[in-house]
Amino acid sequence: MDLDALLRARLATLDPTRVELRDDGDLHRGHPGAAGGAGHFSLLIVSHRFAGLGRLARHRAVMDRVGDLIPHPLHALAVKAYAPEESIPS
């Protein structure tokens, strides 16, 4: 399973209504963390499970599902997590 598919499978347990996962690896060429093939990703995730939670709690919910993948095969994950009723910046 590739890293993108693995991340999406793990995040599915949050019942997201939207998941946008972007591989930012090209932006990090030459970075020490990327040298061993570890990935850099940006994540936009929307889930009803984030309603009423602060930003830190949302990030913890995401990292509880994927944190064991750091530092390899995942080196970095930039997270933007929203509840469905919130406006999402473009």
Mean pLDDT of 45-57: 98
Domain range for 23: 3-82
* Nearest by Cα to 3 from 28, 30, 19, 22: 22
Residue 40 lies in a domain: yes
Residue 90 lies in a domain: no
Query: Residue 35 above 60 pLDDT?
Result: no
Residue 35 lies in a domain: yes
The CB density around residue 48, as the number of other CB atoms within 10 Å, is: 12
For residue 61, give the CATH number of its domain. 3.30.300.90
Residue 87 lies in a domain: no
Q: Where are the beta strands (DSSP E) in the chain?
A: 16-23, 39-47, 74-82
Residue 24 lies in a domain: yes
Mean pLDDT of 72-78: 91
> How many domains does one find in the chain?
1
Mean pLDDT of 43-53: 98
pLDDT level of residue 30 (50, 70, 90 thresholds): low
Residue 89 lies in a domain: no
